[in-house]
């Protein structure tokens, strides 16, 4: 395993599902580096919430940005230098509440970015309020009588928006999660990985998921089957729901291919202005 430790003291609750994500992303990055992606070419972004702390625990370059904006900053990095492998971490409140527009548009554009969604079904760091993925009836400080909003079905939502890779895994199955993360990051285009992440303090779903998760034996035959399977609550299917090849946004956007490398120098710019006018 590559040493990706930063030495930063970990402040997740003992037993938090985030540890599973941290260990699996380290393993997945080790795999990717062994397969030829230079570690130096990996950039990460995150939003704000329990998920975001992963930024401090990974010795990788990137930006710990604003709540909800992880995919917007990731988009900027990718467009500035498409040669980078860009991975974005988001929470369910972050990516599907505050930042829903960026999530849908990153999928719509088929941005070549991987979004790892830490789905803990609540707002952990702000003390357990209901989130866009909390089930009906979920009780939290902002919904003492129980959540009255129906939750999103994140995989079918992202497939509808245009994601070209969508998968689900579970923090208690590190081998599966590692494989899914490697496949997602290697996929050319927008990859969405929903990670079922129990929140030990506010939404302990270990038993719920342990009783229900099953790994699909094969990828569903089409997008409708993928959506149908992804929406089932028993069993809760794990695995890759869809993977397809479509042009990426950065390949189609006019202008130079790699702005940070192909840029005109000052002399060329002034010369071009003289020629234009």
Partner 1 sequence: MTDRPYTVLVGGKAGDGVKKVVQVMAAVFHKRGWHTFQMDDYQSLIKGGHNFSIVSASPEKICNNRHKADLIICFDKKSYDLHREELNPGGCLFYDKHDGDLSGTGIELTRMMKDSYAVPSNVSIGALAIFFAHLGLSEDDLLETIRLSYKRNLEENLSYARKVFPLVTPGESIVDLKTTPLNSILLSGNQAIALGAWAAGLDMYFGYPMTPASSILHYYAAQSQKLGVKAVHAESELAAVNMAIGAIVGGARAAVGSSGGGLALMQEAFSMAGIVEAPLLCFLSSRPGPATGVSTYTAQEDLMFALHQGHGEFSRIVATPDSYERAFSLSAELLCLAWEFQIPAILLTEKHLSECITDLALPLDQIREAVPSLGKDTQDYDRYALTPDGVSPMLFPPSDATIKWNSHEHLPSGLRTDKAADIITMKDKRALKQPGIEEATKRHIRVNTYGSGDKLIFSYGSTTLELREALKLLPPEYKLVSLVYLEPFPSDELAQYRGREAVIVEHSRELPFAAFLREKADIVCLSGISKYDGRSFDPDDLANRIEEAFHD
CB nearer to partner 1: give 35 or 277. 277
In angstroms, give the least distance from the CB of 244 to partner 1: 23
CB 79 within 8 A of CB 253: yes
CB nearer to partner 1: give 83 or 246. 83
Residue 235 tokens read as 């069993």
Closest to 32 (Cα-Cα) out of 4, 72, 8, 73: 4
Q: State the SS3 of 104-133.
A: HHHHHCCCCEEEEEEECCEECCCCCEECCC
The set of residues, in sequence order, having a beta carbon less than 8 Å from that of 148 and lying 6+ positions away, is 136
Distance CA 205, CA 196 (A): 9
In angstroms, give the least distance from the CB of 276 to partner 1: 7
In angstroms, give the least distance from the CB of 133 to partner 1: 21
CB nearer to partner 1: give 81 or 172. 81
In angstroms, give the least distance from the CB of 207 to partner 1: 33
CB nearer to partner 1: give 40 or 141. 40
For residue 223, the surrounding DSSP H or E stretch is helix 223-230
CB nearer to partner 1: give 45 or 134. 45
Residue 223 tokens read as 């997008």
The set of residues, in sequence order, having a beta carbon less than 8 Å from that of 207 and lying 6+ positions away, is none
Residue 143: CB atoms within 10 A of its CB come to 15
CB nearer to partner 1: give 43 or 166. 43
Among the residues of 110-195, which ranges form H helices? 154-161, 174-186
In angstroms, give the least distance from the CB of 7 to partner 1: 8
CB 20 within 8 A of CB 12: no
In angstroms, give the least distance from the CB of 86 to partner 1: 9
Residue 45 tokens read as 């972004």
The contact set with partner 1 (CB under 8 A) reads: 6, 8, 38, 40-43, 45, 48, 53, 55-56, 59-66, 69, 72-81, 83-84, 101-102, 104-105, 253-256, 259-260, 262-266, 269-270, 272-274, 276-277
């Amino acid at each position: 395993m590559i040493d990706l430790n930063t030495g930063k003291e970990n402040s997740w609750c003992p037993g938090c599902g985030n540890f599973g994500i941290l260990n699996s992303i380290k393993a997945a990055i080790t795999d990717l580096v062994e397969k030829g992606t230079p570690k130096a070419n990996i950039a990460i972004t995150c939003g704000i919430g329990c998920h975001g702390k992963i930024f401090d625990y990974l010795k990788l370059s990137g930006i710990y940005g604003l709540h909800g904006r992880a995919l917007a900053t990731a988009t900027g990095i990718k467009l500035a230098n498409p040669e980078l492998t860009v991975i974005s971490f988001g929470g369910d409140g972050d990516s599907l509440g505050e930042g829903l527009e960026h999530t849908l548009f990153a999928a719509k554009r088929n941005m070549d970015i991987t979004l790892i969604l830490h789905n803990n079904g609540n707002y952990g760091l702000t003390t357990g309020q209901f989130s866009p993925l909390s089930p009906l009836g979920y009780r939290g400080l902002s919904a003492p009588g129980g959540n009255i909003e129906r939750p999103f079905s994140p995989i079918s939502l992202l497939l509808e928006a245009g994601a070209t890779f969508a998968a689900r895994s579970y923090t208690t199955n590190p081998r599966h999660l590692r494989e899914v993360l490697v496949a997602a990051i290697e996929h050319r285009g927008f990859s969405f990985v929903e990670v079922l992440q129990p929140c030990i303090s506010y939404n302990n779903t270990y038993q719920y998921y342990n009783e229900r998760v099953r790994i699909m034996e094969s990828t569903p035959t089409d997008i409708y089957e993928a959506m149908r399977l992804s929406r089932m609550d028993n069993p809760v299917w794990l695995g890759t729901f869809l993977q397809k090849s479509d042009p990426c946004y950065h390949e189609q956007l006019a202008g130079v291919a790699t702005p940070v490398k192909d840029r005109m120098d000052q002399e060329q710019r002034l010369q071009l202005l003289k020629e234009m006018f």
